[in-house]
Chain A
Amino acid sequence: MSILINKDTKAIVQGITGKAATFHTKQMLAYGTKIVAGVTPGKAGQTVEGVPVFNTVKDAVDATGATASVIYVPARFAADSIMEAIDAELDLVVCITEHIPVEDMVKVRRYMEGKKTRLVGPNCPGVLTSDEAKLGIIPGYIHRKGHVGVISRSGTLTYEATFQLTNAGIGQTTAIGIGGDPVKGTDFIDALQLFKDDPETLAVLMIGEIGGTAEEDAARWIKENMPNKPVAAFIAGRQAPPGKRMGHAGAIISGGKGTAADKIKALNAVGIEVADTVAHIGDTVVETLKRAGIYEKCHTC
């Protein structure tokens, strides 16, 4: 078991003929992902890395029975691509694209209401289920099969944390990059709910950052809903000055809200240990697992 994707998930790549998408299509295939089709308007009939290209998502889904999509479309067209995938009734849409206008994402979220599709991202590294499949740009070789779920707002920090876990012998079920934008498809609580329902996942690592109050909300949710799966955390941006956007569109302290100190306090208040520096994320997870008495079970690699 795992969440969101596994070795049987059939996925399409929107914007497959772009340079980055082509590169990552090759990587996803090499990891074992079932990439069954690509979509680029006007390019139907071509193939990319052996994958057939269609003009529309509907054509691609009708021909292949795909249930998931990963989007590498440029920012100004990406919201439309997400809605096209939602319209085709896919179960999962992962949007890698950065710099989508916030107002476009507000419309996307409205369009999603009452529909079955789950969106991950935008502005995220994607989703990876260890040894099975990956959608996005997460490097596969750092992951090992195991029992810890990883949720993160940041790409490189996800890799860094996963690398530390693997080095400590702690394998992962699924890593999910929820993205650095203020308006997105999946937030911490949504991802936590998925891990809660996954019997393979025994513990969760949460990597947050400044901006918004999703980490505080997650802390409350964990206390009320997930008492049996231990959580460890890291929060980036302790030194971020108020009012400054730190790289990610959503990483900004505004109106006194969204500081790292508030997030760490909220997490600590419900018994979640937060790593003091980025270099100690792996150690913090190990300590958390040991305290919960599941370290041996989670020591899988």
Chain B
Amino acid sequence: MNVHEYQSKAILKSFGVAVPNGSPAFSVDEAVENAKKMFDAGSKVVVVKAQIHAGGRGKAGGVKLAKSLDEVKTYAAELLGKILVTHQTGAEGKKVNRLLIEEGSNIKKEYYLSFVIDRSTARAVMMGSAEGGVEIEKVAAETPEKIFKEVIDPAVGLMPFQAQRMAYAIGFPAAAIRKASALMMKLYAAFVAKDCSLAEINPLVVTQEDDVIALDAKLNFDDSALFRHPEIEELRDETEEDPKERRAAKAGLSYVNLGGNVACMVNGAGLAMATVDIIKFYGGEPANFLDVGGDSTPEKIAEAFQIMLDGGQAKGIYVNIFGGINKCDLVSEGIIEAAKIISTDGKSLPVPVVVRLEGTNVERGRQILQDSPIANVIMAKTMESGAEEIVRLVKEGNQ
């Protein structure tokens, strides 16, 4: 799960990590009000930052420096409601609904700092670089020697000597070494306490006053651990999520919108990924990834169909089921019951549905679909022919 920068900073602040003074704003008036307090308190520059769940906001024009209340007003009005397109949002961009109004900092130098879970060592790793404020993927690809790592033993946690070694390695000035290593210790504490999958500060800055401040902050949280963090769940911004993905999550379905028009419903995440791939292989544009799970009720299958069809996205649906423990005949009954829920006359589905069944009770499952009065349901002989067929039907339907 992702949260906004201002939410990440509030969490980090509660762990003692130094962040700029700031507060969120949902309207131009609120932005001006927040900024006024900062100017009144002596700030020379106030930063207006668009809050969306994507990086690269600065380059995309989503971060503005304002020297007066008028400028704050202009920038806030410009950014709120704007569609921001960054290298992480995709071409469709993301709408800005929230701003962060923040005191400007006297930046002397920028660094990069993050904590992630490393799969190969099965441990948290701290990564740091003197190349702050730029895309770390680029640094990793072009100059990997400029990224330093400290592997953390979970039995003792990040040790002070490791934090200091990192601070020296990436070249913090002498006057800031202790502040930098202290910040690393606090960031690690937050990373562990909140079950983060990523804690990234880019840039981490040293100011002219030799203070060390997290100028940006990005926290991602382990979805599997949210049960013990209701306070994180509360930060969820549903407007940042694809409405279909949100609806699917509520129904207990694992769904990712891929934007195309050939939908699929599959049991098992691996087979679901592979089904998306085979649709593309035969020239179709996959609409989604959808793992319906092994124990699907007709209601769940009906909800899955409705999500795929919603907004006219799916022009055809490929149902690809391998009945292992779950049985094909029950899946077939589920599809028929789902069709009854969806269709107005109980006899037809709005788009062609190609069904490939294999595995436990496959003969009975096929028979149930063949005997059903529902038009538009086509049995596939093999997985391959089913994929070809659904792609062909969708193309024909579009002509």
Question: Hey, which bits of chain A sit against chain B, CB under 8 A?
Answer: 24, 27, 75-76, 99-107, 109-110, 137-139, 141-142, 152-160, 163, 180, 182-183, 207, 209-210, 212-214, 217, 234, 236-241, 243-251, 255-256, 260, 276-280
Contact = CB atoms under 8 A, between A and B. Distances in A.
A80 to B, nearest CB: 14
Contacts of A155: 268, 270, 324
Contacts of A277: 274, 277-278, 281, 384, 387
A151 B220 CA distance: 30
Contact of B359 (A137, A163, A237, A239): A163
Contacts of A240: 273, 276, 289
Contacts of B119: 182-183, 212-214, 250
Contacts of B10: none
A106 B122 contact: yes
A152 B222 contact: no
A273 to B, nearest CB: 16
Given A137-B325, A152-B270, A249-B223, 5 more contacts: A76-B227, A156-B267, A236-B271, A246-B269, A255-B137
B270 A207 contact: yes
A279 B383 contact: yes
B120 A103 contact: no
A143 to B, nearest CB: 11
B306 interface: no
Given A75-B224, A103-B195, A159 B117 contact: no
A169 to B, nearest CB: 17
A153 B137 CA distance: 26
A172 to B, nearest CB: 15
B153 interface: yes
Given A156-B270, A212-B119, A277-B281, A244 B256 contact: yes
Contact of B269 (A102, A110, A180): A180
Given A239-B258, A247-B269, A101 B195 contact: yes
B256 A106 contact: no
B172 to A, nearest CB: 24
B273 A247 contact: yes
Nearest to B270: A154
Contact of A160 (B137, B141, B322): B322
A182 B117 contact: yes
Given A156-B270, A246-B272, A278 B278 contact: yes
Given A101-B222, A183-B119, A212-B119, A247 B272 contact: yes
B254 interface: yes
A279 B382 contact: yes
Contacts of A106: 117, 122-124, 154
A110 B268 contact: no
A237 B195 contact: no
Interface residues of B, number: 54
B394 to A, nearest CB: 16
Nearest to A255: B137
| Best-buried of A105, A156, A234 by chain B (most CB within 10 Å) | A156
Interface in B67-124: 88, 117, 119-120, 122-124
Given A106-B122, A155-B324, A278-B277, A255 B224 contact: no
A79 B289 CA distance: 29
Contacts of A139: 324-325, 359-360
26 contacts: A102-B117, A102-B197, A103-B195, A110-B153, A137-B324, A137-B325, A141-B360, A142-B359, A152-B270, A154-B269, A160-B358, A183-B119, A214-B120, A236-B277, A237-B276, A239-B258, A239-B286, A243-B88, A247-B254, A247-B269, A247-B289, A249-B223, A255-B137, A277-B278, A278-B271, A279-B278
B36 interface: no
B134 interface: no
A160 B384 contact: no
Contacts of A153: 270
Nearest to B278: A277
A248 B269 contact: yes
B225 A101 contact: yes
Contacts of B266: 156
Contacts of B382: 279
Contacts of A237: 273-274, 276-277
Nearest to B136: A255
B41 interface: no
A109 B270 contact: no
Given A139-B324, A236-B277, A102 B270 contact: no
B174 interface: no
A24 B326 CA distance: 12
Contacts of A75: 224, 227
A277 B382 CA distance: 13
Interface in B18-50: none
A74 to B, nearest CB: 10
Contacts of B155: 110
B280 interface: yes
A85 B157 CA distance: 25
B202 interface: no
Contacts of A157: 268, 270-271, 274
A276 B273 CA distance: 13
Contact of A156 (B123, B271, B276): B271
Contacts of B140: 255
Contacts of B5: none
A243 B90 CA distance: 11
Contacts of A163: 322, 358-359
Nearest to B321: A156
A241 to B, nearest CB: 7
Nearest to A244: B256
B275 interface: yes
Nearest to A281: B274
Contacts of A278: 271, 274-275, 277-278, 383
B192 interface: yes
Contacts of B222: 101-103
Contacts of A110: 122-123, 153-155
Contacts of A251: 269, 273
| Best-buried of B197, B227, B228, B273 by chain A (most CB within 10 Å) | B273
B141 A256 contact: yes
Interface string B130-172: 0000001100110000000000011100000000000000000
